[in-house]
């Protein structure tokens, strides 16, 4: 096989690395609480995609069933994270009247 032709799973893995980079960039640069939650969800998807790509590398029809289970569970946990984050963001908005993370600066590290 030629060097520049990646197989399907390898493309998937490259995509997951890209998603990881996007998620970390989002976490580092965004101020809006909702956007931060979206960045977390992108990170969850990056991890799932990475698992899927490694599972697919075993060949067609040989994918690990545990990974299928894992992806479903992780997506459910991702849903929990999003739900909790949105509830917290709502509480912060009601209480402090802002969804800007940079305005939450009363506490210092």
Partner 1 sequence: MDLPHVLYLLVAFLIASPFIDLASHRRGLWRLSHAFTLACSLACLTLMAYSYGASSETWPRAITYGEFGVGTCLLLDRAGFFMALTALLLSALTSIYALGEGPISPGYCVAFTALMAGMVGVSLSGDLLTLYVFWEIMCLAAYALVAMGEFKDEALEAAWKYFIMASAGAILMLFGASLAYGLAGTLNMPLLARRLEGASCRWLYVALLFFLAGMGVEAAFFPLHTWLPDAHSAAPTPISTMLSGIVIEIGFYALAKVMLILFYQSAFLWQAILASLCVANMLVGSLSALVQRDVKRLLAYSSVANMGYLMAALSSYGVKALSAALFFVLSHALSKGLAFLCAGHMATRAGSRDLGALRDVRVGMPLTTALFFLSLLSLAGLPGTCGFVAKLVLISALFLTASWWLGVLALLNAILMAAAYIRVVWSMLGSPAKAMPRSVGEGRLSLTAMFLMALLIVILGFWPGPALRLAYLGAMDLLGVR
Question: Residue 108: which region, alpha, beta or left (left: phi > 0; alpha: psi -120 to 50)?
Answer: beta
Q: What are phi and psi of 107, to 5 degrees?
A: -95, 140
Closest CB to partner 1 among 4 and 69? 69
The minimum distance between CB 74 and partner 1, in angstroms, equals: 7
Q: How far apart are CA 106 and CA 104, in angstroms?
A: 6
Helix axis angle, 65-96 to 33-56, nearest 10°? 180
Closest CB to partner 1 among 1 and 107? 107
For residue 38, count other CB atoms closer than 10 A to its CB: 16
Closest CB to partner 1 among 1 and 86? 86
The minimum distance between CB 108 and partner 1, in angstroms, equals: 8
Q: How far apart are CA 21 and CA 100, in angstroms?
A: 23
The minimum distance between CB 1 and partner 1, in angstroms, equals: 19
Residues that bind partner 1 (CB under 8 A): 13, 16, 20, 23-24, 27, 33, 36, 40, 43-44, 46-47, 50-51, 53-55, 57-58, 64-67, 69-70, 73-74, 77, 80-81, 84-85, 88-89, 91-92, 95-96, 101, 104, 106-107, 109
């Amino acid at each position: 096989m030629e060097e520049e032709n990646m197989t399907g799973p390898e493309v998937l893995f490259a995509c997951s690395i890209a998603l990881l980079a996007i998620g970390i960039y989002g976490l580092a640069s965004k101020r809006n609480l909702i956007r931060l939650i979206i960045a977390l969800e992108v990170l969850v998807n990056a991890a799932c995609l990475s698992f899927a790509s490694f599972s697919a590398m075993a060949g067609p029809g040989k994918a690990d069933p545990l990974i299928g289970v894992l992806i479903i569970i992780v997506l459910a946990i991702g849903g929990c994270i999003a739900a909790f984050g949105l509830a917290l963001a709502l509480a912060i908005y009601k209480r402090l009247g802002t969804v800007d993370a940079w305005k939450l600066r009363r506490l210092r590290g």
